[in-house]
Amino acid sequence: MIFSLYPFFREAPRSGSKAGRILLILSVMPRMRKGGNHTLSSFVLRLMALLCMFIDHAGLALFPSVGIFRCIGRLAFPLYCFLVAQGFRHTRDIRAYARRLLLLALISEVPFDLLIFGRISSAMEQNVVFALLLGLLALYAVRMLKGNRLFSAMAVFALMLAAMAARVSFGWLGVALCLAFDYARDNRSGQALSAVLLPALYSLTLLLSGVSRSWVMVSLCACLSAVPILLYNGKPGLHHRALTLAFYAAYPLHLCFLLMIRAMRIIPPYFLH
């Protein structure tokens, strides 16, 4: 995949601004679609999301002045929402899936608060697994209320409000992405388009709420998640229960690892403090 995209990334700097580079890369997606180069399995998408998330949190905790870390990290959340939508479609037990996400969210909250806010508990923001759980609940509600569009809309709206009221990471975006990916389940181009439009809308709401333009531009990098989504081949890839558990455990463990590295003060600028 990297080599197939190389010519487009080579051209990207000529477009000028960061937004221009994003638009240039997104403009090649129809050509990629026509080429039929669907090479990424669910396993590969999981690895990509995990790597992007680790880079994001490493940038936040250890290299706060290096913006590229946060730009790369923006791809993780849409990819995880996409994987939740895929998991919802194929899981045998949605309730067990939801329980796993809830347990993971609760276990991860303390290391998340310690890494982000420097204290054991904070009401400022809840970790991203809660956003994925609310997205899964929205999918389940829509399925159960399929015959009643009004009640379905009310349930979705209530879950979006809950995400914003609880200050869950990314607010309403998690619910919206999961629903959009599931709605376009058999249309890869539609899913990729959702991965562009919804993060772009979310970035616009950030701008209108007074968030700095520089962070809004970083948030727009989430639109690049459309590329791996477009290349998804619909296959699980390498799959084993132990791997699934490892992917779950990676979230709290990587937070703890970064906490330890920061506490040891071995990476600049922390060794100077």
Is the bond leading into 269 cis (omega within 30 degrees of zero)?
Answer: yes
pLDDT at 271: 47
Give the orientation angle of helix 94-117 with respect to helix 128-144, to 10 degrees.
Answer: 150
pLDDT tens sequence across 2-36: 444 444 444 444 445 555 555 554 454 444 444 44
Q: pTM for the complete prediction?
A: 0.83
pLDDT at 211: 92
What distances in angstroms separate CA 120 from CA 112, 117, 273, one per listed residue? 9, 8, 22
pLDDT at 273: 42
